[in-house]
Chains A and B, each alone.
Chain A
C-alpha cells in the first residue's frame, strides 16, 4: 500500500465531516440524502483503507455491504421524496413535522 493509513483515515474523516455538516445544514431532503451518502462513502473509504492496511478482505466485503445499503437507502429516500412531492408536499425536510408537538 502506497498511501499510509493515517492519510486515508484523514480523508475519510474529512469526507464524513463534510457529509455530516451537509446533512445537518441543508434544508432540502435531496441534499440531506446526498450528505448521508457522503458519510456512507467516508465509512466505505475507511473500511477499504483499513482492509488494505491489515491485508484483510473483510474490509472490502464491508464496502460492498455499505454500497448495497447506500443504494437501498437512496432508493427509499428518493421514493419517499417523490411520494411527498406528489401529495402536495415540498422537498423541505422541516415541513414534514406532523408528528412533532409544536405543529
Chain B
C-alpha cells in the first residue's frame, strides 16, 4: 500500500521534473508521451491502491519535516475510500486531458513547459487528496494555486492572459487566508494538525472552536472552489488553454475546496452553523452561476459559470452532511464538465479560435457529427436530463437540502431547484445555438484531421457522463447503490428522510430539466434566428467584478494612497523631517553663538565667563 501511494505521488512529480530537466532535448511527441505516461502510471497506482483498500482507512507517514515546541508536521497520508476514489477520478480524468492536450497543443512552441505544469498540477491535487497532515495539505493547496496561475497565464506574451492568471492567484489567495488562520488555530488548540487527530478530538472540541474553524475552512474552500463571494476569478480563468480549463474545472482546483470540506466532515458535524452556511452559499452560488451563464456568448465562459453553479450543488450536499452525495456529484461533474470543455476546445479550433457560439451553427454539426454526439452527452448530463449522471447526482443534492430540517435548507432547496431550471435553459441554449442555428455572421470553418483525433479520448467520458448515475441511483429504483455502499464506513450514512424525499425531488428535477429544454427550444430553435442578448448585468456576471472593484479594491486603493501620501509622507516622514530640521535649527543657533560674528563670539565668551564666575561665587560664598 505504501508503495502504491508513493508511486501515485511520485509519477506525476517525476513527470514534471523530467519535463523541466529534459526540456531542450524533448521532441513534441516525446514530451506529450512522457506526460501521458506519467499520468497512466499514476492511474495504475491509484487503481492498485483502491484494489487493496479495505473499509478501514490506512495512514502512511513518510517522515517529519517540521518540528518545534511540541508541534510536528509530517508527510503523512490518510488513505480512505473517499481519497482512493478521488485519486482514481483525478488521475483518470487527467490522463484523458493529457492525451487530448497532446493533440490540442500541436502548434504551441512551449509544449514542454505546458506538460510540466500539467503534471505538477495533478501532483499537487493528489497531495490534497491524500494528505492527512493539514500543513502538507496546505502545500498541495498552494501548489495547485501556483499551477493554476502558471497555466491560466500560460500564453504570457499577451497581458490579459497574465492578468487573468494573476486574478485567479490573488482571489484564491484571499481564501487561503482563512486556511492559514484555521491552521494556526488548530495547531494552537490541539498541537497537531492532522485529519485523523481532528477526527479523534472532534467530540471533545468546543462547539465555538469547531464553528470558527469550520467557517474559516469554508472561506478557504469558497476561494478555491470559486463560490460566492470569491467566484469572480473563474470566468476569467478561460484565458488559458482549453485543456487547462478542463483540468481546473473538472479534476483539480475547483473540486479541492469541496473535497476539503468532505475531509473535515468529522469536525463540521460538530458545527451545524457551518453546514447551513455551506449549503446556503452553495445554493446561492448555483443560482448565481446559472443566471450568469444564461447571458454569455463565449462558449468557455458559459461553461465556467456553469462550473461555479455546479460546484455550488456539491457545497449544498456537503453542507447537508451528505459527503457521499457531494462526492457523487463531484465525480459526475468531473466527467461531464471535462467532456464539455474538451469538446468546446474542438469547437473553438474548428472555427480557428472563435469562442462566440452565435457565430457557429449547424455547419459544425454536419462537419463533425461525432463532436455533436459528445457535446450532447455532456450537455444532457449537465442539464440533468432524466437518467443521466447529472440527473441523479444533482437530484441527490437537492433531496439532501429538502430533507434537512430548517428554513435555511428549505430556502437552499428552492434556490437549487431554480438554478436547475436555469441550468437546463442555458445548456440547451448553448447546444441549439452552437449546433443548430443559422448564424447571421458565420465564422470560417477549418477542417483538420487533428480535430477528429481529439475526439477519441472523449468517448469514455461521454459514456460515463451518460451512465455513471447508475453507480449511485436513488433508493426507490431498487438498484444497489455501489458508491454509497463502497463509502459506507467512510462518510456519514444517508439519513432516511433524504431517501423519502428522493422520489419527489427526482420527478421534480426531471420536469424542471424538460421544461428548461422546452423553453430553450422555444427561444432558440433555428427557425427563430436567435440573436445574442445585449450586454447587461448578467453578461457582466451580475456586477460581481464591479462590486469587487468598487467596494473592495477602490477603497483599498484610496486607503493605501491616504496611508502613503497622508500618513506616511505627511505625518511620519513629516515628523522625522521636522525633528531633523529642528535639530538643524538648534545647531545653527548654537553655531551662530560661536562663529557668526566676532561680536557674538565675544558676547558668548563674556557671558559664559560671567555665568562661570557667578556660579563660582555662589559656590564659594
| Residue in chain A with minimal CB distance to B588 | A102
Q: Is the CB of A93 within 8 A of B599?
A: yes
Select which of B591, B595, B596, B603 is within 8 A of A24 by beta carbon.
Answer: B603
B581-609 vs A, CB cutoff 8 Å, 1 = contact: the mask equals 00000000001000111111011001000
Taking a contact as CB atoms under 8 Å apart, the answer to whether A93 and B606 are in contact is no
B314 to chain A, nearest CB (A): 77
Prevailing SS type, chain B contact patch:
helix
Residues on B with beta carbons closer than 8 Å to the beta carbon of A23? 602, 606
Question: Is there contact, CB below 8 Å, between A94 and B599?
Answer: yes
Q: In this complex, what residue of A is CB-closest to B598?
A: A93
Kindly state the separation between the CA atoms of A32 and B602 in the bound complex, as whole angstroms. Answer: 10
- Report the minimal beta-carbon distance from B612 to chain A, rounded to whole angstroms: 14
Partner of B598, one of A94, A101, A102: A94
Tell me the total A-B contact number using a CB cutoff of 8 A: 26
> Given A20-B606, A24-B606, are A100 and B596 neighbors across the interface (CB < 8 Å)?
yes
Nearest chain A residue, comparing its CB with the CB of B595? A100
CA distance A25 to B600 in the complex (A): 8
Interfacial chain B residues near A101, Cβ < 8 Å: 591, 595
Within 8 A of B (CB), among A62-103: 93-94, 97, 100-102
On chain B, the residues within 8 Å of A97 by CB distance are 597
**Within the assembled complex, what's the spacing in Å between the Cα atoms of A101 and B599?**
17
Q: Given B591, B595, B597, which contacts A93 in the complex, CB threshold below 8 Å?
A: B597
Chain A residues with Cβ under 8 A from B606's Cβ?
20, 23-24
Q: How far is the CA of A97 from the CA of B599 in the complex (A)?
A: 12
With most chain A CB atoms within 10 A of its CB, the pick from B596, B597, B600 is: B597
Total interface residues on B, CB under 8 Å, equals 10
Which among B591, B596, B602, B603 has the greatest number of chain A C-beta atoms within 10 A? B602
CA distance A77 to B599 in the complex (A): 16
Chain A nearest CB from B597 CB (Å) reads 5
Residues from chain B with Cβ under 8 Å of A20 in the complex: 602, 606
Complex Cα distance, B603 from A94, in Å, reads: 14
In the complex, what distance in Å separates the CA atom of A101 from the CA atom of B606? Answer: 23
- Which B residues lie within 8 Å of A94 (CB)? 597-599
Measured between C-beta atoms, what is the minimum distance from A101 to chain B in Å? 7
For the complex, give the distance between the alpha carbons of A93 and B596 in Å.
Answer: 11
Neighbouring A residues of B597 by C-beta, 8 Å: 93-94, 97
On chain A, the residues within 8 Å of B598 by CB distance are 32, 93-94
Closest Cβ–Cβ distance, residue A87 to chain B (whole Å):
18
The smallest C-beta distance from B596 to any residue of chain A, in angstroms, reads 7
> How far is B606's CA from A95's CA once the two chains are assembled, in angstroms?
22
Q: What residues on B are CB-neighbors of A32 within 8 Å?
A: 598, 602
In the complex, how many angstroms separate the beta carbon of B66 from the nearest chain A beta carbon? 60
User: How far is it, in angstroms, between the C-alpha of A101 and the C-alpha of B592 when the chains are bound?
Assistant: 10
Return the chain B residue nearest A29 by Cβ: B598
What sequence of 0s and 1s flags, for each residue 1-33 of chain A, a beta carbon within 8 Å of any chain B beta carbon?
A: 000000000000000000010011111000010
Residues of A within 8 A of B595 (CB): 100-101
Nearest CB in chain B: distance from A89 CB, A: 14
CB distance from A93 to the nearest CB of B (A): 5
Q: Are B596 and A25 in contact (CB under 8 A)?
A: no
B593 to chain A, nearest CB (A): 12
Interface flags for B166-187 (1: CB within 8 Å of A; 0: not) read 0000000000000000000000
Residues on B with beta carbons closer than 8 Å to the beta carbon of A26: 599
**In whole Å, how far is B17's beta carbon from the nearest beta carbon of chain A?**
67
Compute how far the CA of A101 lies from the CA of B603 in the bound complex, rounded to whole angstroms: 20
Report B611 CB to chain A, min CB distance, Å.
14
A97 to B597, CA, bound (A): 8
Measured CA separation A93–B597 after assembly (Å): 8
Is A102's CB under 8 angstroms from B596's CB? yes
A25 to B599, CA, bound (A): 6
Measured CA separation A101–B596 after assembly (Å): 8
CA distance A24 to B597 in the complex (A): 10
Q: What does the 1/0 interface line of A23-50 toward B look like (CB < 8 Å)?
A: 1111100001000000000000000000
Compute how far the CA of A101 lies from the CA of B587 in the bound complex, rounded to whole angstroms.
13
Distance (whole angstroms) from the CB of A64 to the closest CB of chain B: 25
Residues of the A chain whose Cβ atoms lie less than 8 Å from the Cβ of B602: 20, 23-24, 32
- Which residue from chain B places its CB closest to the CB of A20 in the assembled complex? B606
Closest to B601 in A: A24
Distance in angstroms between the alpha carbons of A101 and B595 in the assembled complex? 9
B599 & A27 in contact (Cβ 8 Å cutoff) = yes
Q: How far is the CB of B584 from chain A (nearest CB, A)?
A: 13
A32-B605 Cα distance, complex, nearest whole Å: 14
Least CB distance from B607 to A in Å reads 9
A18 to B599, CA, bound (A): 14
Closest to A99 in B: B595
User: Could you say which residues of chain B place their CB within 8 Å of the CB of A24?
Assistant: 599-600, 602-603, 606
B599 partner residues in chain A, CB cutoff 8 A = 24-27, 93-94
Report the minimum CB–CB distance from B247 to chain A (whole Å): 72
What is the CA–CA distance of A83 and B126 in the complex, to the nearest angstrom? 96
Q: Once bound together, how far apart are the Cα atoms of A20 and B606, in whole Å?
A: 7
Among residues of A, the one whose C-beta sits closest to the C-beta of B613 is A13
Residues in B whose Cβ lies below 8 Å from that of A100: 595-596
User: A101–B597 Cα gap in the complex (Å)?
Assistant: 11
- How far in angstroms is the closest Cβ of chain A from B441? 79
Q: Which residues of A contact B596 (CB under 8 A)?
A: 100, 102
Minimum C-beta distance from B621 to chain A (A) = 14
* Cα–Cα distance between A23 and B597 once the two chains are bound (Å): 12
Chain B residues with CB under 8 Å of A27's CB are 599
B591: chain A residues within 8 A (beta carbon):
101
Nearest A residue to B592 by beta-carbon distance? A102
User: What is the distance, in angstroms, from A16's C-beta to the closest C-beta of chain B?
Assistant: 9
Q: What are 23 A-to-B residue pairs whose CB atoms are below 8 Å?
A: A20-B606, A23-B602, A23-B606, A24-B599, A24-B600, A24-B602, A24-B603, A24-B606, A26-B599, A27-B599, A32-B598, A32-B602, A93-B597, A93-B598, A93-B599, A94-B597, A94-B598, A94-B599, A97-B597, A100-B595, A101-B591, A101-B595, A102-B596
What 9 pairs between A and B have smallest CB-CB spacing?
A24-B602, A24-B603, A93-B598, A20-B606, A94-B597, A23-B602, A24-B599, A100-B595, A24-B606
List 5 additional contacts besides A94-B598, A101-B591; criterion CB under 8 Å: A24-B599, A24-B602, A25-B599, A27-B599, A93-B597
Q: Which chain A residues have a beta carbon within 8 Å of chain B's beta carbons?
A: 20, 23-27, 32, 93-94, 97, 100-102
